[in-house]
Structure 1
Amino acid sequence: MNSYESQFRAIVGEDYDQTRDLGAEQARALSALIFGMPLVQVTRDGSFITYEGWSEEQGVYLSVMATYDHKGAMQAICEPHNRIGAT
């Protein structure tokens, strides 16, 4: 089984820079990956949807902001999970 982090890296590439926008295929793949995580939060704001997902078991947090039509994405994040229960 691939970890969420390795799947994230397979979608965005090993040298992904968070300041770089992503294409439609990557936007759909990341939102689907995150939507399948154990803990998920989806926030809609105007023309954008932010998907956030956490896996306590794998200790990872993923996030991506996609356009409403999923033709593009930005601000994809993969980091150690430290946001569950954070205030």
Structure 2
Amino acid sequence: MPYVITAPCIGVKDASCVEVCPVDCIYTDDDAPQYYINPDECIDCGACEPECPVSAIYPEDSVPEQWQDFIRINAEYFQLKGS
């Protein structure tokens, strides 16, 4: 079950999660409002979750109801990028 980055990351883009990811599956670009976790690359280790200063990262099956759209948003980011 991959991890998902949700709404609190928007506009913050703190890279603490990127620094601890052992498989480098967290991405962004200059035009993106937040970081995204590639669901095909995430190994579900959870190293990123406690490092997020805005508590934006959740296991996919624990994403709060109000942020469920971010499961799709994270996956679509990689589909649009061709990754």
Comparing both structures, which one devotes a greater share of its residues to strand?
A: 1
> Computing the radius of gyration over CA atoms, which structure comes out larger, 1 or 2?
1
Of structures 1 and 2, the one scoring higher in RCO (CA 8 A, sep 6+) is 2
Comparing both structures, which one devotes a greater share of its residues to helix?
A: 2
Q: TM-score, normalised by structure 2?
A: 0.27
